[in-house]
Amino acid sequence: MSFFSRIFGVKKTSKPWEREKPLSWRENLQALKSLPRFLKLVWVTHPPMTLANSLLRVLQAGIPVTALYIGKLIIDEVVLLASHTGGDMASMWRYVAFEFALALLSALLSRAVSLMDALLGDLFSNKTSERLIAHAAKLDLPQFEDATFYDKLERARRQTTGRVVLMSQMFTQVQDMITIIFLGAGLVIFNPWLILLLVLAVIPAFLSETYFNQRSYSLARNWTPERRELDYLRYIGASDETAKEMKIFGLADFIRTSFAKLADKYYRANKALAIKRAIWGFVFNGLGDIGYYAAYIVIIFQTIGVPIEVFGITIFSGSDQLTIGDLTFLAGSFSRLRGLLRGILSRFSSIAQNALYLQDLFDFFEMEPKITSTPEALPFPKKIKQGFTFENVTFKYPKTDAYVLKDLSFHLHAGEKLALVGENGAGKTTLVKLLARLYDPDEGRILLDGRDIKEYDLTAYRAAIGVIFQDFVRFHLSASENIAVGRIEAKEDVPRIEEAASLSLADSVISQLPDGLQQRLGRRFNQGVELSGGQWQKIALARAYMRDASLLILDEPTAALDARAEYEVFQRFAELTAGKSAVLISHRFSTVRMADRILVLEGGKRLEMGTHEELHALRGRYAELFELQAEGYR
Ligand SMILES: Nc1ncnc2c1ncn2[C@@H]1O[C@H](COP(=O)(O)OP(=O)(O)O)[C@@H](O)[C@H]1O
Ligand SMILES: [Mg+2]
């Protein structure tokens, strides 16, 4: 197993390209069930345009049979005129004029229809993307950390633009069906046997199309993890964020060969299928041609006036001979019908396939968050009275074995500043995530003023808690927006943003930016300015001051600041949040000392807890670590 395969949890089999299992008919039909829902989504995107599009297509569906029939009238008239046995020049010209007008109308209609398809498609894909973003925001953090969820998200993301094709396919499908009814009516009037031949001419190709469509869908689906891995390799192989290390460690070859190996496997799997598809497609279409020419022969005999009998069944009695115009009309209708039917049938299987992809999108939309609150949930208290209590809290991350927090109990008083101390991996960040209800404990409870935090309204609860995480997001947006994310409703409130910036010492960073607060940060876009780690932290810290939080948590957001800046930041923080509860995480004891009490975590357990003086007097782990750091400064 390769390094990346392990990361992505990809299981290798000896012949991965043979893994795809075709979907059953049942699964295919099941997928079609999502089509009405899809149509509804298209409809709500823009009702007038959807309606107009449908009406124009019905109109368009009537054109082929009309055109063929006028063509027949023209030919019959011309034959009569040419043999000098009758015919009417004036009506012939009228027919020609009508045929020409029809051609113009058809061109106009098809332009209008494809224009509307394109516009509707754009609107649909925008709306779906919006829904995707909105829905993703509702889901829980644990869901995001799950690889199968990622695959689903990835497939759903691909659906937002890909499904536009499905929309016009479905419209075209209905339109072609109407066209077929019109054309088929003509055939039935002249000779019903032709319909049977038509079906025989089409079915073989349809079956092979359906089969291969299912195979390629299964292949694409089974390979989602690998495709994700390929995307990831492509990304780390060529991105500004990795360029430094790629060069220093000379990783280009390693990444390139990893990519090439995996890409080649996927290519081979695809190739095998594509070749099979081409060969069988040719064979089955050939069978269809036989049906077409049989029908042609029937029509020719009917025009010449020779009776046809097959196995004792009279297909044509010899009376009711066809005209030359009829011959062209029927031959034209038949070939048109064959094309249309073939199109419909192959489109049917491709619609079914697209519908399967659609299923992925709907599956994603149907995923529900587990961390929720009930409608009768408690409002967040205006003023916290007793504070937060951890009661024998035990927690491990989903799909992992090791407990990260074990039987943890402590109390955070209202208005208290608590510092968390512990080695990397001790569980400090996890504790914060539980406190913010990004996860729920496996055992034990977290109480706020004596009630389980699960009983409070989730939105209100999260709104009352401000956390600046260790791995806060560096949004490649403007400096002002980067600060405003702490309270996005206030994004236009410049004085408030400036105030927050000055409290977090970000004002010194902003004053150096060419465009000040409006400066775009990060290198992803033109005119973006990249900041140093410490500068980013000052910006992120300002988010905490934007928020009117009852509980503020700073999870090592100052690690990249120099000792003096960190000291200053925390001093201000303590002054400004006087009376509010706060949790501070830092490895610097000069900062930790400022807290009212200190909780020392080790391996997810509470090791010591007390004031700086108490813990110092205890001469335990805290005192030991404190001495160690003080030693370094002497
Ligand atoms: N999302 C996650 N999924 C699985 N394990 C995790 C996750 N986040 C952290 N861990 C594990 O939980 C433990 C505690 O991590 P963390 O709370 O981040 O520690 P600290 O913040 O004290 O450094 C570590 O062993 C880490 O590997
Ligand atoms: Mg941490």
One DSSP character per residue, 489-529 reads: GGTT-HHHHHHHHHHTTTHHHHHTSTTGGGPBBSSSSTT-B
540, 446: one domain: no
End position of a domain, from candidates 317, 339, 366 = 366
Where is average pLDDT lowest: 177-181, 461-465, 566-570, 584-588? 566-570
132-141, 185-194, 372-381, 553-562: which has the minimum mean pLDDT?
Answer: 185-194
Assess whether the C-beta atom of 145 lies below 6 angstroms from ligand 1: yes
pLDDT surpassing 50 at residue 16:
no
Q: What's the domain range around 237?
A: 25-366
Q: Is the pLDDT of residue 25 over 90?
A: no
Give which of 573, 568, 512, 508 is closest to 547, Cα–Cα: 573
Task: Provide the pLDDT confidence category of residue 475 given band limits of 50, 70 and 90.
Answer: very high
Ligand 1 centroid – CA 631 distance (Å) = 29
Question: Which stretch of 179-183, 194-198, 544-548, 618-622 has the lowest confidence by average pLDDT?
Answer: 194-198
Is residue 289 domain-resident? yes
The CA distance from 128 to 130, in Å, is: 5
Distance 397 CA to ligand 1 centre (A): 8
Distance CA 372, CA 391 (A): 21
Output the residue whose Cα is nearest ligand 1's atom 18.
429
Of the residues 366, 391, 418, the one at which a domain ends:
366
Do 573 and 522 sit in the same domain of this protein? no
| CA distance linking residue 6 with residue 164, whole number of Å | 35
Both tokens of 358, joined, read 């659609």
Cβ atoms of 262 and 230 closer than 8 Å:
yes
Residue 13 near ligand 1, beta carbon < 6 Å: no
pLDDT band at residue 3 under the 50/70/90 scheme: very low
Residues 139 and 183 in one domain: yes
CB atoms within 10 A of CB 599: 24
How far away, in angstroms, is 429 Cα from ligand 2 center? 4
Query: By the 8 A CB rule, do 66 and 94 touch?
Result: no
Task: Judge if 434 and 457 occupy the same domain.
Answer: yes
DSSP state of 611: -
Neighbouring CB atoms inside 10 A of 309's CB total 11
Q: What is the whole-number distance in angstroms between the Cα of residue 539 and the centre of ligand 2?
A: 19
Same domain, 607 and 539: no
Q: How far apart (Å, rounded) are the C-alpha atoms in residues 600 and 610?
A: 9
Is 443 within the bounds of a domain?
yes
Distance CA 193, CA 210 (A): 26
Give a yes or no: residue 321 inside a domain: yes
- How many structural domains are present in the chain? 3
Atom of ligand 1 nearest to the CA of 604: 14
Residues in contact with 224: Cβ distance below 8 Å, sequence separation at least 6, in sequence order: 151, 154, 155
Q: Are residues 531 and 581 in the same domain?
A: no
Is any ligand 1 atom within 6 A of the Cβ of residue 332?
no
Mutate to test the pocket of ligand 1, among 429, 553, 586, 625 (most ligand atoms within 8 A of CB): 429
Q: What is the pLDDT at residue 5?
A: 38
**Are residues 481 and 533 located together in one domain of the fold?**
yes
Long-range contacts of 569-578 (CB under 8 A, 24+ apart): 569/504, 569/505, 569/538, 569/541, 570/594, 572/503, 572/504, 573/544, 574/417, 576/503, 576/545, 577/417, 577/552, 578/415
313-316/308-310 β-pairing: antiparallel
Is 428's C-beta closer than 6 angstroms to any atom of ligand 1? yes
For residue 626, being part of any structural domain is answered with: yes
Of 589, 405, 560, the closest CA to residue 470 belongs to 560
425 lines ligand 1 (CB under 6 A): yes
7 occurs within a structural domain? no
Per the domain annotation, does 16 fall within a domain?
no
Token readout for 300 is 């020719």
Which stretch of 104-108, 306-310, 354-358 has the lowest confidence by average pLDDT? 354-358
Phi, psi of 418 (to 5 degrees): -115, 130
- What is the CATH classification number for the domain harbouring 100? 1.20.1560.10
- Do 458 and 495 have their domain in common? no
Indicate if the pLDDT at residue 15 is higher than 60.
no
The residues pairing with 316 across neighbouring beta strands, listed in sequence order, are 308
Mean predicted confidence (pLDDT) in 492-499: 95
288 shares a domain with 402: no
Task: Note whether 124 and 38 are within 8 A (CB).
Answer: no
Is 356's pLDDT higher than 80?
A: no
Percent of the chain with pLDDT over 90: 43
If asked whether residues 416 and 301 sit together in one domain, one would say: no
Q: Which of 321, 340, 366 is the last residue of a domain?
A: 366
Percentage of the chain with pLDDT > 70? 94
Q: Is the CB of 426 under 6 A from ligand 1?
A: yes
Q: What is the pLDDT of residue 17?
A: 39
Six token digits for residue 235: 């990304």
Ligand 1 atom closest to residue 430's alpha carbon, by position in its atom list: 17
Question: Are both 295 and 417 inside the same structural domain?
Answer: no
Q: Provide the 10 A C-beta neighbour count for residue 87.
A: 15
CA 193 to chain centroid, in Å, comes to 49
Ligand (nearest to CA of 470): 2
Instruction: Say which amino acid occupies 556.
Output: E
State residue 207's pLDDT score.
80
Q: Is 440 touching ligand 1 by the criterion CB < 6 Å?
A: no
Q: Cα separation of 367 and 632, whole Å?
A: 52
Residue nearest to atom 13 of ligand 1 (CA): 425
**pLDDT digits 0-9 by tens, 609-629:** 999 999 999 999 999 988 888
Q: Which of 488, 452, 555 is nearest to 137 (CA)?
A: 488
Residue closest to 296 by CA, chosen among 281, 308, 311, 314: 308
Structure tokens at 202: 């089409």
What is the number of residues in the chain? Answer: 634
- The CATH number of whichever domain residue 491 belongs to comes to 3.40.50.300
Q: What is the DSSP letter of 380?
A: P
* Chain segment 283-301, per-residue pLDDT in tens: 888 887 888 888 888 888 8
The answer on pLDDT for 202 being more than 50 is: yes
Question: What's the CA-to-centroid distance between 264 and ligand 2, angstroms?
Answer: 40
Whether the Cβ atoms of residue 373 and residue 454 lie closer than 8 Å to each other: yes
Report pLDDT digits (tens) over 366-412: 888 888 888 888 999 999 999 999 999 999 998 889 999 999 999 99
Residues 95, 77: contact at Cβ < 8 Å? yes
Tokens 């990893």 locate to 258
Q: Relative to the alpha carbon of 427, which ligand is closest?
A: 1
Comparing 570 with 379, the larger pLDDT belongs to: 379
For the record, the structure tokens of 206 come out as 């349809």
Q: Residue 163: inside a domain, yes or no?
A: yes
What is the pTM (predicted TM-score) of this model? 0.74
**Is the Cα torsion angle 606, 465, 585, 146 positive or negative in sign?**
positive
CA distance 414 to 387: 4
C-alpha 434 – ligand 1 centre gap (Å)? 12
Atom number in ligand 1 closest to CA 585: 21
Nearest CA to ligand 1 atom 6: 397
In a domain, 521, yes or no: yes
The rounded Å distance from CA 596 to ligand 2 centre is: 21
User: What average pLDDT is seen over the chain?
Assistant: 86
- In the reported structure, the alpha carbon of residue 556 is separated from the centroid of ligand 2 by a whole-number distance in angstroms of 7
Query: In Å, how far are 140, 149, 391, 437 from 600, measured between CA atoms?
Result: 29, 35, 17, 22
Please tell me whether residues 417 and 450 are part of one structural domain: yes
Q: Which residue's alpha carbon is nearest to atom 25 within ligand 1? A: 425
pLDDT tens across 236-266, in order? 888 878 888 888 998 989 999 999 999 999 9
Shortest-distance atom of ligand 1 to CA 601: 22
Site to substitute for ligand 1 among 7, 395, 397, most atoms within 8 A of C-beta: 397
The pLDDT of residue 27 is 65
Contact between 432 and 467 (Cβ < 8 Å): yes
Is the model more confident about 347 or about 155? 347
| Residue having the nearest C-alpha atom to atom 5 of ligand 1 | 397
Q: What local confidence, expressed as pLDDT, does residue 85 receive? A: 82
